[in-house]
Amino acid sequence: MEIIKFLNTLPGACAQGLIWGIMAIGVYITYKVLDLADLTVDGTMATGGAVCVMLMLQGHSAGFSLLVAVGAGMLAGLATGILHTVMGIPAILAGILTQLGLYSVNLRIMGGRANQSIGVDQYDLLVSLRWVRDVPFYQNPIFVTVIFVICLIAVLYWFFGTELGCSIRATGCNEHMSRAQGINTNTSKILGLVLSNGIVALSSGLFAQYQGFADVNMGRGAIVIGLAAVIIGQVVFGKIRGNFAFKLFSVVLGSIIYYFVLQIVMKFGLDTNDLKLIAAVIVTIFLAIPYLKAKYFAKPVKRGGASHA
């Protein structure tokens, strides 16, 4: 019976992992591509959902609401970028300041309420937790989110192959060399942060529709989940040679693995109040694996030299 209950939770974990995988792609852009520690994510993850839900409550379509949510996330990334590049505030602190300010902004967006719900019966949602089973395949949130993931990865693969995208990647690889080559690194950082937080807001809008409500605290700890997905994808699929699109896809797979592991751990009877602690432990383990593997399981380097006569 317990096994059946566990198997019944897997489709929901897969759908949730895919949605958060989109958020993890945004984290990947700042963390791996741009080489910046951006903590704006925790605020943006609530902003996108708040904007999407409030616009739908006012009668706008799910697609239009999601598009505006992406724009709101981009504005949050722009604020962090300006604080970092124009005002000289370190990236991690700039993200914290933006995240802090977004808490009040999100409350204002939701009319002073900490929570705003939206029902699947009253509104035409793109994804919903209630559609995980016993619905046509095209309505299943797993199928819908996979389409979003494929389109997003395709667009990002094209964009980062353009001159502008390459300048962002070059800035992350070597800022000083990029500046010497005539690249405006400040502009590249701002564009990377804008793009990253726009993607995070896209995930937030989908997640708000999926769970049926937006909450001012729904982004708390989002950066941990995003980093977990990035690290897990790197650890599990790092040995496979692939292009940039595959690296982005591995991040999404890392998010799905994270939620599967979370479901397995929760089945041991742990209290849901320990969820954040469990998440921190999972991330710690996957972060430590590459270091421990290199230190204790790497093959020793053979020291050779010319033979003496």
Report residue 2's pLDDT band, with 50, 70 and 90 as the boundaries. very low
Residue that wins the pLDDT comparison between 238 and 127: 127
Q: What is the pLDDT of residue 202?
A: 94
Beta bridge partners of 214: 116
- Rounded Cα–Cα distance for residues 149 and 20 (Å): 11
Give 276's contacts (C-beta < 8 A, 6+ positions apart): 221
Q: What is the pLDDT of residue 309?
A: 45
Token pair belonging to 165: 């995208």
Token pair belonging to 73: 């996330």
Closest residue by Cα to residue 178 from 194, 157, 193, 163: 163
- Rounded Cα–Cα distance for residues 230 and 237 (Å): 10
Report the Cα 127 to chain-centroid distance in Å: 18
Q: What is the pLDDT of residue 5?
A: 46
- Rounded Cα–Cα distance for residues 230 and 286 (Å): 10
Q: What is the pLDDT of residue 127?
A: 84
Q: What is the pLDDT of residue 98?
A: 94
Report residue 72's pLDDT band, with 50, 70 and 90 as the boundaries. very high
Q: What is the pLDDT of residue 303?
A: 58
Domain 2-296 falls under CATH 1.10.3470: yes
- Rounded Cα–Cα distance for residues 209 and 129 (Å): 8
Token pair belonging to 41: 């994510």
The amino acid at residue 104 is S
> Taking residues 19-23, what's their average pLDDT?
92
Residue with tokens 């198997």: 7
This prediction's pTM: 0.88
The full set of domain ranges for the chain reads 2-296
Which helix (DSSP H) or strand (DSSP E) does residue 11 occupy? helix 2-28
Q: What is the pLDDT of residue 64?
A: 93
Q: What is the pLDDT of residue 124?
A: 81
